[in-house]
Structure 1
Amino acid sequence: MPNVSSDDRIETLDVLRGIAIVGTLASNIWIFTINVGSAATPLLPDWIGEVSQWLPNGKFLGLLTIMFGIGLEIQRQSALRGGRTWPGTYPVRAGLLFLDGLINYVFVVQFDVLRAYAVTGLLVAFLLLTSDRVQWWLISVFFALHLTVLVLTSSLTVPPRGEALSLPELSRAARVPTEDGGYWSLVNSNIRNIGNAFTIYSEFSTILLMGIPLFLLGGKLYRAGIFRTEGVQLRRWLIVIGLVVALPVDFVLGTYDGGTLSSYSRYGTAPLVALGILAAVAQFYQHRAPGRFAHALGRVGTMALSCYLLQNVLGVVLERTIFQSNVVRTVDPVLGTYAVFAAISGILLAFAALWLRWRRRGPIEYLWVASFKLLVRERRADS
């Protein structure tokens, strides 16, 4: 088996980020297409739609969370190699990410993860200063706390048996204004009720509690050699845990009784499945170089922030324009959603490919880096 070079390992990270971005779209697409096929007689059996919603739900959110943790560890190692203190200027990065998430929440979608990642990253940046033993203890404690809060909050919000809401219905109830309201009505509502975005029942709090142990675990996996040749045994164990053990349990939780237990799937077992996906992709590219499609996903991963925001903007624009038409309401909901997912994914792949022909980073990444350098320069000038 050939040894994997450093460049290949970095490219594998980009491929995984690309998979995570497109995978989150596969989950969120059902929210954007709530009106697609709303007046149609379905052509496909109900179970196809249920499985299609279950399959990406939470897995790629978990993968994206783990990848953020790996990225944080890479930044820490880079700082130490460069003789810089840690966490150093990372709080500035976290602040910019939080601002990105806040703008995304107010003006685009309420199911934003960037705010939670920013706060999680800020906390974990300091927790990485502790010993390995303390970090394992923190992982255990926060996983236990996350599961406890998940059980308590889910038990208060689970609908009566036989009256479960689907993912799109739950999301629509949480983010769409009254029928006589428009886009700016929703923006105004988001601003006035901004506190609701940070309650114990919000996804922000759930991802924060879930993210702390997953960020720490991602860093540990990177240090343990998850992308190196000698990490083969670690990858095999994670594949067994994630894809052999956790995936069937996740299927039961995600599809039982119309999805009444789907929150346990999304935030409980799905992150374990994500570990299996991470290990499987890493193992796959130990044997071969990334191909054409992997390179395309890698380009999406290179400009992950730009593509994440773009897919949300495209989804909202389509939801509020084309998807309101009577023609769209009469197509099969599952087939229509598949078509929209394929179209937006194609736009992301094409946009990333075209942009990176001329630039090294995505447009939002350039803006982000420029803002970071400006803030750090002013901070140093003040000091």
Structure 2
Amino acid sequence: MSNSHGVKRVPSLDVLRGIAIVGTLLTNIWLFTGGVGDESIGRLDGRWEGDISLLSGVLSNGKFLGLLSILFGVGMAIQFESAMRHGHRWPWRYEWRSLLLLADGFVHFALVVDFDILMGYALVAMVVAPLLRLRTRWLVVAAALAGALHLFLQFRNMAGITAYTTPPLPEDFSEDAASTGDWSNLPTPTYFEEVAGRIGDFWNSRYEAFIIVPPLSAFLFLSGVLLWRAGLFKGDERARTLSRRLAIGGLGLGVPLTVWEYLPLPGGDITGALSRYTIAPVVAFGYLGLTLILLRRRGGSGFFARRLADVGRTALSCYMLQNVVALILFSGWGLSLGPLGSVGTIAAWAGISGLLMLAASLWLRRFRQGPFELVWRAAVDAPFRKADRARAHERREPEKDASLSAS
């Protein structure tokens, strides 16, 4: 999730990554606090608090995950250009990097949460990475094919399969608990029982990551690569024009489709089924364009922009940390602060987001990367250190000979 050494950081990318991380938490926080399902929240909290949960879902559900996927593709493009500059064979290093991400994702899945995204990202990245050697026009074709496959699968499944929205509830979750708010009769598993349950139910829990999302992720990764190559993150007029088009197109199309399912209009069931995996990514492109417009107008140097950039620079660490903190706060074996109503859930999201910003800012005063990023960098580079030293030595020898000749 971070740039490689030797690549000048793009400040707007760091801010966008930070927004994607805290925005993804806004989607997931409801699962931690017990606010599962708009209907149950409305019964527990009253109408206006139910509206808060509804608004949160409209703004966040799938949108920031889509944004994070686009930015993952941008990072892939940066890694490819860095590899070409340094004479590295592509995509061998990146495939090793993806294998490490897969292992990291499994550990995060098993020990923390069952809705981890890293494993799915790693598997799709292994397939997409070799395509970056193609010319841009063929990447456009590949992106179009991935998008078409995703739409085909969505429309094929729409009639008979309910879209995945949240991890499954416990088997003994009852309507009485949802309606009364009395969750005391639900058994509280220990941490190790939760770990064993996730591992035992591995394939069912990974249905979203391994079955539903891969074609969409491939499309968004390739879109991020194409946007990077198109110069979206440069400061010229072309970049500003592209940002405006993304904002107007993404929000102009995505927002009406997002709210369509909540209006008394025909076709609401269709837009509802397409909301998380098809309409939300459209909105994500709009968020991307709008954020870049605002950052360019304001210089991207405000207090919150800097704090979000800190989170973006430590994106992998913050993504894992936010889930660990939420798990400790709200799980039955932890502090068991839930279930919370809508206001409490939003307050929990704001509090954890603030903690991430503070921790990232303090950490980056002493280190260049986040803690997981430092370990990650060492593991990624480890198999190639000998070859890199030999290559660096070969480059130094001609330079030394040339200086001796000149003298």
TM-score range, shorter chain: 0.7 to 0.9
Alignment partners' CA distance in 2, 1:53 and 1:233: 30
Instruction: State the 1:236 CA deviation.
Output: 1.6
Instruction: State the 1:212 CA deviation.
Output: 0.6
Q: Structure 1 residues 286 and 8, CA, compared in 2 at 3 Å: closer, same or farther?
A: farther
Alignment partners' CA distance in 2, 1:204 and 1:283: 34
Correspondence 1:226-305 to 2 at 5 A: 226-228=232-234, 229=236, 230-253=238-261, 262-290=272-300, 291-305=302-316
Q: Structure 1 residues 35 and 285, CA, compared in 2 at 3 Å: closer, same or farther?
A: closer
Instruction: State the 1:351 CA deviation.
Output: 0.5
What do the CA deviations read for 1:111-137 (whole angstroms, capped 9, x no partner)?
Answer: 111111111112111011122222111
- Between 1:347-356 and 1:276-285, the stretch displaced more is 276-285
Instruction: State the 1:57 CA deviation.
Output: 0.6
Aligned match of 2:126: 122
Contact between 1:21 and 1:307, CA under 8 Å: does it hold in 2? yes
In structure 1, give the amino acid aligned to 2:382. Answer: L
Contact between 1:110 and 1:175, CA under 8 Å: does it hold in 2? no
Query: Are 2:157 and 1:153 equivalent residues in the alignment?
Result: yes
In structure 1, give the amino acid aligned to 2:63. Answer: K
Instruction: State the 1:180 CA deviation.
Output: 5.5
Instruction: State the 1:8 CA deviation.
Output: 9.4
Contact between 1:242 and 1:277, CA under 8 Å: does it hold in 2? yes
What do the CA deviations read for 1:145-170 (whole angstroms, capped 9, x no partner)?
Answer: 112222333433339xxxxx9x5xx4
Unaligned runs of 5+ in 2: 1-6, 174-185, 390-407
Aligned match of 2:14: 14
Query: Normalising by the residue count of structure 2, what TM-score does the alignment of the two structures yield?
Result: 0.80
In structure 2, give the amino acid aligned to 1:24. Answer: T
1:202 to 197, 208, 227: 208
Query: Normalising by the residue count of structure 1, what TM-score does the alignment of the two structures yield?
Result: 0.85
Aligned match of 1:171: 167
Instruction: State the 1:197 CA deviation.
Output: 4.2
Contact between 1:62 and 1:271, CA under 8 Å: does it hold in 2? yes
Alignment partners' CA distance in 2, 1:372 and 1:87: 13
Aligned match of 2:364: 356
What secondary structure sits across from 2:159 in the alignment? helix
Aligned match of 1:312: 323
Alignment partners' CA distance in 2, 1:69 and 1:174: 35
Aligned match of 2:230: 224
What secondary structure sits across from 2:92 in the alignment? coil
- Between 1:149-158 and 1:267-276, the stretch displaced more is 149-158
Contact between 1:113 and 1:204, CA under 8 Å: does it hold in 2? no
Contact between 1:197 and 1:204, CA under 8 Å: does it hold in 2? no
Aligned match of 2:105: 101
Instruction: State the 1:203 CA deviation.
Output: 3.4
Instruction: State the 1:324 CA deviation.
Output: 3.6
2:56 to 45, 52, 56: 52
Q: Structure 1 residues 41 and 81, CA, compared in 2 at 3 Å: closer, same or farther?
A: closer
Q: Which has the larger radius of gyration?
A: 2
In structure 2, give the amino acid aligned to 1:363. Answer: P
Alignment partners' CA distance in 1, 2:385 and 2:100: 15
Contact between 2:246 and 2:285, CA under 8 Å: does it hold in 1? yes
Q: Once the two structures are aligned, what percentage of the paired residues are identical?
A: 37
Instruction: State the 1:256 CA deviation.
Output: 8.0
What secondary structure sits across from 1:86 in the alignment? coil
Q: Structure 1 residues 338 and 175, CA, compared in 2 at 3 Å: closer, same or farther?
A: farther
Q: Structure 1 residues 196 and 377, CA, compared in 2 at 3 Å: closer, same or farther?
A: farther
What do the CA deviations read for 1:244-284 (whole angstroms, capped 9, x no partner)?
Answer: 12111122247889988545111101111111111122222
CA RMSD of aligned residues (A): 3.0
Unaligned runs of 5+ in 1: 1-6, 160-164
Alignment partners' CA distance in 2, 1:254 and 1:174: 28
Instruction: State the 1:73 CA deviation.
Output: 0.2
Aligned match of 1:4: none
Contact between 1:105 and 1:111, CA under 8 Å: does it hold in 2? yes
Contact between 1:116 and 1:205, CA under 8 Å: does it hold in 2? no
Contact between 1:92 and 1:375, CA under 8 Å: does it hold in 2? no
Alignment partners' CA distance in 2, 1:250 and 1:41: 24
Instruction: State the 1:340 CA deviation.
Output: 0.5
Alignment partners' CA distance in 2, 1:156 and 1:101: 30
- Between 1:235-244 and 1:22-31, the stretch displaced more is 235-244
- Between 1:129-138 and 1:296-305, the stretch displaced more is 129-138
What secondary structure sits across from 1:298 in the alignment? helix
Structure number with greater CO (CA < 8 Å, separation at least 6) is 1
